[in-house]
Each structure stands twice: as structure tokens, then as C-alpha cells.
Structure 1
Amino acid sequence: MSTQTASQSHYFDSIAVVGELIRQRDLSPVELVTSCLERINELQSRLNAFITVAPESALSAAKAAETEIQQGQWKGPLHGVPIGIEDFYDTARMRTTAGFEHFRDRIPKKDATAVEKLKRAGAIVIGKTNMHTLGMGTTGLESAFGPVRNPRNVDYIAGGSSSGSAAAVASGMCFATLDTDAIGSCRLPASCCGIVGFKGTYGLISPSGILDGEKDPGEMTRWFNHPGIMARRVQDVAIVLDVLAERSQKESAGYLGAMRKDVNLRVGVTNNFEADHEVRQAFHVAVEKIHALGYSTFSAQAPLRHPANDVTRIETDRNGSQVDRRRGIS
């Protein structure tokens, strides 16, 4: 299996591209992980994207992946690809803190279900990403392990609560991350850092193993937060979702396969929100890009006076009803 030097790095390639190079044995998982570790070493002090970096276990897993692939046991496009895990998810023998001082030395005995699935697919966990303490914030500035900075401009916030994941993916430290999202914790930082954030619907990805055994705040967190994914491309999110989705084996080709279908998409555009001039300009540029991609738009005035507060209230009420339903409370 050939190797690549750091100068020939694949930091910003898609998972589909590096996955195929690995499958063809034109790229070594060990070299790919090494390059990402070098990238982390270069940028971590400036961005603070990770709480824990795991070079030894990541390189060990990469060597195992390389051996498996050489023996014809390729597991799929994530095999040998470095990913990050938001520090909400339990990882066996690797601390899980939720950005909370009280959990600084908390080391779980087993992996969360979603983490276990990713490992079975051959993904390499390179570390645990920083986050707003207990997921309770939108800036990424409040963590027991220090604030996260936006890789596009360190004077800007990275968003939150999954701030470290967005910074890590956007800066090429890893190719995707496993995250959580209740009312924007995955999508907001993805938007701030210019990548893709995906919030799964209830039941699509297992939340089992988010602060497992911690009744408070762990129990409430598990049901309020939807597991989510961040990556640099929609295609990469689909690849990860194909591994994580809790669906019957009888179901179809999967999310990556569905991307090959034509989509007749109409996008609702609202103009009755209060926003600064700069924000409105960026919004209109985004609408123009939607048109350029061949999609149509229509006016959809939202009946909300203070949309951020109203949407947050709606999401919170809905999430609370899910908690009650799971507890058997009508």
C-alpha cells in the first residue's frame, strides 16, 4: 500500500475519494491518520477543537485497518478514515466530559451505540471534540476546556454547542464527526464554519451511550438531543448515515443511493425576519445560489414575531413530549 507525504495530504478530500483510494490500496490509513494528527498538532493551540486527542489508539486502529484491507477485508468507504466524536458520546477507555468540569476524569467502560457502529465500519476515532458545556449554548465559548475558535476567522465564534466538531471538520483535522442536535447544536456551528450539519429525526440514530449512567443531566440529554453528523459534503454525511441509521436490512439502497435520484425541490424563502443588513445580503446570495443549482423558490412568510425564541420554544416543547412519551407519561 503506497503512502502519501504530508505535502500530498488529503485533508480536504471527500470521504468518497479517500475511501476509494484506501480500497484501491493507493492510500494508507496509517499515513492518512498521521496526516490528520499532524494537522491537529498544527492547529489545536489556535482552534481548541479537541478536548482529547488519541494518537496511540488511532494509529493502532489504522494499522489494523491497513492489514484488513491488504487481506481483502475492506468494510466500506469509512474503513481507515479518521473521524471525531463529540465529547457527549461515551467512548471506551477514553474520557467523556461533555465539556463539564465535573466530568473531567470520567472514563466510560464501553462505547456508545453509534460509536460502536462507526468502529465496526472501520472508521478511526482520532479524538473527542470540544463543546459548549453540557450542550447548553450556541457560541462554543463556554467549555471547561476553553473556547473553540472558528477556523475561517478566529475572531468569530464557531457556533454551538458542537463547536469543536465544526472547527475540526472545517479545518481538515478529520473527515466527519458524530454530534448531537436539539435546537441547532449541530446545524448552527456547521453553518458558522461553512460545512454540512445534519440533524436526524427521532429514532434514526441511536442516542444510547450519551453520558450513560449519568441520571442528571445524562437522561434528559439523551432524549432532548438528536444524534447528528457533520462533514464537508452532503455525500459524506450520507456515507456516515448509511452506517449509523437504525433501519431494517430489508430497506433499500440507503442514503448514498438516494442521492443519485433526481430531486424536485422547492425552497420556501422568508423575508419577514429581523436581521442586520450584512446578514440579509448573505441570505440573498444564498437564495441566488439555490436558483443557480436549478431549484425553485417560493415566498413563505413565517407567522412568528420573534422567530429565534418561538422556534426554540416549539423545539423544546416537542422534545419534552418525546421525553414524556418514552417515560410513559401521557
Structure 2
Amino acid sequence: MSETFPNIAQTSELLREGIISPVDLVRQCLSRIEKLNPKLNAFITVNSESAIAEAEKIETEIANGFWKGPLHGIPIGVKDMFDTAGVKTTAAFSRFQNRIPQKDAHAVTLLKDAGAILIGKTNLHELAMGTTSAVSHYGSVHNPWNTDYIAGGSSGGSAAVATNMCYATIDTDAIGSCRLPASCCGVTGFKSGPGTIDMHGILEGLPVEESILYLSQISITAGSARDAEIVFGILSSKKENGNGETTVKRESPKRGSAYKIGMVRNRKAEKNVESAFQEAANLLRSLGHLVEETEIPFSPSFDTRNIKKDREKFSEIVFKNYDLLILPTVTAGVPTIKEAVKNGPMALSPENTFFCNYYGLPAISLPCGRDRNGLPIGFQVIGPNDDGKNIFHLSNLFQSSTDWHTKRPKPN
């Protein structure tokens, strides 16, 4: 597989037309896993035999004209928080190392129904309770741009996407758990809004803190916004979530229309992060969009008794005046694994990401530069809790004018 790694849409067409084989595609991904996983530790479990068997079945389906859509035959990784029938689901926690669910999580079922091939279960910060993925029963996840550094967390195993070991991963995001690793590893990470994707089957049957039910949403890591949008289209639904919230349909602007974008003034960012962010904002301006500084309620009270009211109030205040918000994903450069272990589970600050979880806002992290050590930096595009079309539309416009998302590391 080439270093440029064709995106999901292109690869899907090649599969559909029989130009490439799903079996060859899976074998190529498995070859990269065999070569790179010892360095990066992105996967806990690799489904080699079942992935090849599924690819052989799909090859026959496609040859017979049976086509399920854009994920048919595409290798996908699954964060080891999602239950997978017959495959251990551990949350990177020692007490769960032999936990084998009998039933797939709802999101996993949707992926399988769409013809995606589950190539393995990705590593994470233990119990998804940290932003570094330096703490895991299976060992730290390493950043593919420099293995001395963290991959971010808690969904650190999504580093697999940056190194072409799979085309996308499904993850969870409670304080920035998908967007932070996406920023650290130079890929795209999308967090859905509440009620958009069914959450059932994430460590099913185990006790969960009430706050997590409000804050955590299913997320997607992919090579580009377009790839994330394709996966999101498969996973999203109109069903209510456990808190009785539903998403709101909004019309995307007509092609050529400008967005009014709020550039969060009370953001946290060290000098080189701010510089990369300003360049991204200037590019959006050059594309014809209005980008201006604005103050937002950035530090939520974090009182779940008030969360529904707070979410409604935030949307009324902010999205009355702006279509979208932008701000950096991280506050500072990527720390080393050694620094992360020393400084604790939140060594990578979630200050710029957490408010999206509290206020129930979908958000995407897009690569936009490098930190002082040459590791990736991302910025977020944030919208109201709707179908995400405006977020994806602007993100696709940005990525059509930059090449940050196409760059791939060669792990040391």
C-alpha cells in the first residue's frame, strides 16, 4: 500500500469495480500492523483470520454484483471499549483482559451490516480515563511521528489510521478522547453530538458513572473529513439517546455561500499552537468566510442537573450569531511518554475540547501544522447539535485547500 494511502471513497470505487481485491487490501493492512504495531502498540487484538475470511466472502459478493455501499470491504479498527461478539473487549484494564462479549455493540453491528471488515481492537488509556494513552494494561501507545511521544488519548490506538494500518477507527469521546489523538497524530477526528449515534454495547453490563452517559459520544478517526463523513453516515441515526435528546436537522448553506465563524477568543494556546491556528483561520478567510473573534461560555459548571438547560442556553447565545466555531484542539505541544507518566492522566490538557462534550456539540479536529518538535497540531470546527453537515462542508473545503491531512509519518 502506498504512502499516499487512497481514501475510503477512492478505495471503495476500486473495490466495487474489481480493480483491487478486499483480500489484498486486508493483507496489506495486516502487513503494516505486523511491521508497525510492535513500535506503536496501537492494536490490542488483531483479527487476522476472521478479517481475511470476511474479505474472501466480500470478494465473492462484489463479484456477484452485491454491493453494500462505501464501507463494503474497507478495513476498520474498533476502540477496545466497544463490545465485539467473540472477541475480547478489555478497555485496556487488567481485570477485563479475559472479558469476551457475546453480542456486538450497536455501532459495530452497523459497520458489519455495511460490509466493513473489523481488522482489530485498538489500544487506549486504561478505562478511557486519561488523555495520553501512556497508561494501559497492554503498554503505552506511541506517536507515529516520534515514538518517544504520546499518541494522545484516550483513543490513542487511532494512531493506526495515521500509519495506514486501517482506514478509520470508531472511538469514544468524553472530554476530547478522539480529537486529542487526532491532533497529536495528524489525522481527522470527529465527535458526534448527543443522540446522533446509538451508544448501546459499550462495555455492556458494567457500571458507568452518570456523568459519562451525558458527556461521552461515539466518534470517528479517519484520514480526512470526507472519510469521517462517510463512516458517520453509516453510524448516525435519528433515535433519541438515553437522555431523551435528539438532533436537529438544519439546511447546509448553498454551494458558494459564506459561513459566519466565531473564533473563540478565550482559547488556551501556546505560541506555536496559536500560530498554526491563525494560519488555519486566515485560510478560511481567504476562502470567503467571515471569521471574527468572539467570547463564549468556555468553562462549564459541570453539573449534570443543569446540563440540559446549559446546552439550550449555550446554543441560543452562540449559534444565534454564528454558524460555526473554531479553536485549537490542543493547548500546547505533544508531551513525551516520560513526561505524561510523570504528570498524570491529564498531561495533555483537554481545556479546548471538554466544553464540546458538556454543551453537547459535534466537533471535528483537522490537521493544520506542526509543534516545536515537529509533531502535528490540529484545530477544531464546532457546530450546533444537528446533523453535522455544516461542519463537514467547511472541513472538506479546508482540506481541499491544504495538504496537512495527506501527510503520513514514517515511525522511527
Q: Into which bin does the TM-score normalised by the smaller protein fall?
A: 0.7 to 0.9
The reply on whether 1:172 has 2:182 as its aligned counterpart is no
Return the alpha-carbon distance in structure 2 between the equivalents of residues 120 and 297 of structure 1.
41
Counterpart selection for 1:205 from 187, 191, 197:
197
- How far the C-alpha of 1:264 sits from its partner, in A, is 2.7
Confirm or deny that 1:160 pairs with 2:153.
Answer: yes
State the secondary structure of the residue aligned to 1:134: helix
Tell me the number of residue pairs that the alignment of Structure 1 and Structure 2 aligns: 303
Task: Show CA shifts across 1:114-158 (max 9, x none).
Answer: 100100100000000000111111111111111111112223221
1:52 aligns with: 45
- 1:226 and 1:301 mapped to 2: Cα distance? 25
State the match for 2:263 in structure 1. Answer: 269
Alpha carbons 1:52, 1:127 under 8 Å: kept: yes
List runs of 5+ in structure 2 lacking aligned partners: 240-248, 301-330, 332-348, 361-412
CA contact 2:174–2:354 (8 Å) conserved in 1: no
Is it true that 1:94 corresponds to 2:77 in the alignment?
Answer: no
Cα 1:204–1:317 change in 2 (3 A) is closer
Specify the alignment match of 1:108 in structure 2. Answer: 101
1:273-308: CA deviations, max 9, x gaps? 453322222222222332344433111134658997
- Are residues 1:288 and 2:288 paired? no
SS at the partner of 2:50?
Answer: helix
Contact 2:80/2:124, CA 8 A, preserved across alignment: yes
1:301 is matched with 295
Q: Letter of the aligned partner of 1:184 in structure 2? A: G
2:47 maps to amino acid: A
Out of 68, 73, 80, the residue aligned to residue 80 of structure 1 is: 73
Does the CA contact (< 8 Å) of 2:131 and 2:350 recur in 1? no
CA distance in 2, matches of 1:225, 1:101: 22
* TM-score for both structures, normalised by structure 2: 0.68
**Aligned residues with identical type, % of pairs:** 48
2:236 maps to which of 238, 245, 258: 245
Question: Which residue of structure 1 aligns with residue 24 of structure 2?
Answer: 31
Partner of 2:398: none
CA distance in 2 between counterparts of 1:263 and 1:190 reads: 28
Secondary structure of the structure 2 residue equivalent to 1:215: coil
Cα 1:312–1:172 shift into 2, 3 Å? closer
Contact 1:92 1:110 in 2 (8 A): yes
Instruction: Please give the alpha-carbon distance, in whole angstroms, between the structure 2 residues aligned to 1:119 and 1:142.
Output: 30
CA contact (8 A) 1:207 1:223 kept: no
Bigger helix share = 1
**How far did residue 310 of structure 1 move?**
7.0
User: Which residue does the alignment assign to 1:230?
Assistant: 221
Tell me how far apart the structure 2 counterparts of residues 89 and 242 of structure 1 sit (CA, whole Å). 19
Alignment partner, residue 325 of structure 1? none
Paired residue type of 1:209: G
The separation in 2 between residues aligned to 1:68 and 1:125, in whole angstroms, is 17
Residues 175-184 or 285-294, more deviating: 285-294
**Length-normalised TM-score, structure 1:** 0.83
Equivalent position SS for 2:291: strand
**101, 120, 125: which is aligned to 1:132?**
125
Counterpart Cα distance in 2 of 1:259 and 1:116: 33
Q: Which amino acid is 2:277 matched to?
A: F
Tell me which amino acid in the other structure corresponds to 1:199.
K
Distance across 1 between alignment mates of 2:206 and 2:297? 39
CA distance in 1, matches of 2:69, 2:297: 45
C-alpha deviation, 1:263, in angstroms: 5.3
- Work out which structure has the larger RCO, using CA pairs closer than 8 Å and 6 or more positions apart in sequence: 2
Question: C-alpha distance in 1, partners of 2:297/2:106?
Answer: 39
- Tell me, in whole angstroms, the C-alpha distance in 2 between the residues paired with 1:274 and 1:69: 49
Q: For residues 263 and 247 of structure 1, do their structure 2 counterparts lie closer, same or farther at Cα, with a shift above 3 Å needed? A: farther
Distance 2:187 2:126 in 1: 22
CA contact (8 A) 1:177 1:230 kept: yes
Which residues of structure 1 form unaligned runs of 5+? Answer: 1-5, 249-254, 320-330
Measure the CA separation in 2 of the matches of 1:271 and 1:317.
19
